[in-house]
Amino acid sequence: MQKTIDPKTLMQSSKQLNVGQKIEQDDIIEVLENLNYRPSRQVDEEGAYAVRGSILDFFSPQNEQPIRVEFSDEEIISMRSFSIVNQRSSEAI
């Protein structure tokens, strides 16, 4: 069996992200930390996140690949999946 959180906590802690949305990068990091994501230098496993300047990477267990979110100030300008093998972005989300 795989550990999960209860549905009520998940819904209260979830946050939908969209390109063009205005949101602080720190607000997303706070949500990730509340869901027990671990900070990392490089995202290479589920439950990890990494910050490099205006880029936030995280790997949700519900996705096959991690997500890369790019910011310009407080606006999401790009969201893409990426490979954990070579860290290169692939398709836009």
The pLDDT tens digits of the residues spanning 69-83 come to 999 999 999 999 999
Partnered with residue 58 across adjacent β-strands are 49, 67
Torsion of CA 71, 76, 78, 82, to 10 degrees: 70
- The C-alpha atoms of residue 36 and residue 10 are separated, in whole angstroms, by 11
Write down the pLDDT at residue 90.
86
CA distance 37 to 32: 5
Alpha-helix runs per DSSP H in 35-92: none
Band of pLDDT at residue 62, cut at 50, 70 and 90: confident
- The pLDDT value recorded for residue 17 is 93
Q: What is the pLDDT of residues 31-50, one digit of tens each?
A: 999 888 999 999 999 999 99
Strand-strand pairing, 48-52 and 38-39: parallel
Averaged pLDDT of the chain: 90
